[in-house]
Amino acid sequence: MKEVKKGTIRSKIKRGDTVVFISGREYNRYEKTTKGGKEEVQRVPLRGQVIAVDPRKGKIKVEGAMMMKRHRKAVPQQGIEGGIIEGEAWVDISNVAVVDPKGGKPTRVRYEIRDGVKVRVAKSGEVIPEPARKANAKKKEDEQ
């Protein structure tokens, strides 16, 4: 029987971070560009914001990446409309990397304590800012 991990599992990628794909289907995206009347096709890895993080499974959802379609049957008794629902699929965390705020390239994240505060730091030494939280979370903090 598989052993269940206990305790808190954390991820170095947070919701709201800008990430770039370093492998997988979205890494091999091809885009057409026009230069001087010539049409060129080049590979451009997708960049996007992280929508959701599941550290226990090691998965994330990235805005506009790995789009999937789900066919849903209508259930009038419950008020559910039928149709084709399009949404993002879960992607493995190992397929993406955080974008370095200094150079704009993929980077690894480490933690350091600077001025008594634990911060995320990129390989370039630049501090990765914490992603903006929703307004509701800030209101709760102000009330306390």
Query: Could you report the per-residue pLDDT of 45-65, keeping only the tens digit for each?
Result: 889 999 999 998 999 999 999
- Domain ranges, ordered by start, for the chain: 18-72+82-106
At residue 43 the predicted structure's pLDDT band, cuts being 50, 70 and 90, is confident
CB contact at 8 A, 14 and 53? yes
Between 129 and 8, name the one with better pLDDT.
129
Dmax over CA atoms of the chain, in Å, equals 62
Query: Could you report the per-residue pLDDT of 59-106, keeping only the tens digit for each?
Result: 999 999 999 999 999 999 999 999 999 999 999 999 999 999 888 899
Q: What are phi and psi of 12, to 5 degrees?
A: -80, -15
Average pLDDT over residues 3-11: 79
pTM given for the model: 0.77
The whole-angstrom distance between residue 66's C-alpha and the CA centroid of its chain comes to 11
